[in-house]
Amino acid sequence: MGRLIFCTCRRYVKANGTDGSGQPQRVHPGSCAEWPRPTYPAATWLEPLAAQVQQIVLDDVTIATVVDALTTTAPRRDKLARKRLERRRREAAEAFAARRVTMSQFAAQIASLEEQQRTLEAVEPATEPSVPSAAAVAYLKDLPALWRAADEAARADLLAAIYPRVEVRGAEFIAVTLTPEAEAHGLALALPESVCVARPAGIEPAT
């Protein structure tokens, strides 16, 4: 997984050998009130990240949104991130209306989204070379199959190309950041908000 997983205290969660069954482990480098226990299996985070890559949303609405966001010759770097926030606000409102989340959970989600919005607005707008929309859509469609065909080393490289940093609190995902290349190919709009893995788990959306 490389230098990918960080605690909310901003310290890197480093490799710590394997357990009795041969499963790779990760350990916090020091004492931290945000870290519930000393070690976790690396799969705690790897499985949801892998599931997010494999369960990319490619319905007509998502593809149309990606194409629209990438049709500008030199789009703002934060354009996809802003669209992502808009989508998350709608989904949070729908979840609250359907009583899938409590008022306090809904309020916390909105507060988090507003903080991310303020962060975006505080950063000076920048432009990136535009990825052709057809190339981006083809990339998104090919990504799940590419993951399935890859060996362990290639999957590690693929994760590094998508996620430069993942912030966690123990087994809980707090923030997932995408690389500029991943953003440019529309992954901010196509990665699912939650995933299904063999064990119950979820992942917070990319920021």
Phi–psi pair at 15, nearest 5 degrees: -65, 145
Q: Are 77 and 120 contacting, i.e. CB atoms less than 8 angstroms apart?
A: no
> If pLDDT is split at 50, 70 and 90, which confidence band does 39 have?
very high
Question: Are residues 75 and 127 in contact, defined by beta-carbon separation less than 8 angstroms?
Answer: yes
pLDDT for 177 beyond 90: no
- Assign 138 to helix, strand or coil: helix
Radius of gyration from C-alpha coordinates of the chain: 18
The length of the chain in residues reads 207
Amino acid sitting at position 27: V
Contact assessment for residue 48 and residue 66, using Cβ atoms and an 8 Å cutoff:
no
Q: What is the pLDDT of residue 57?
A: 85
Give pLDDT tens digits for 53-100: 998 888 999 899 888 888 764 445 566 677 778 888 888 888 888 888
- Both tokens assigned to 140: 């998104």
What percent of the chain stands above pLDDT 70? 84
- Please enumerate in sequence order all residues whose Cβ is within 8 A of that of 10, keeping only pairs 6 or more positions apart, or say none: none
pTM of the model: 0.66
Show me where the domains of the chain are located. 5-75+127-190
Q: d(Cα 79, Cα 130) in Å, to the nearest integer?
A: 12
Give pLDDT tens digits for 111-140: 888 888 887 777 655 555 578 889 999 999
The first and second tokens of residue 39, run together, are 């070690």
For the stretch 144-160, pLDDT in tens is 999 999 998 899 899 99
Spell out the residues 6+ positions from residue 197 whose beta carbon is closer than 8 angstroms to its own. Answer: 47, 48, 51
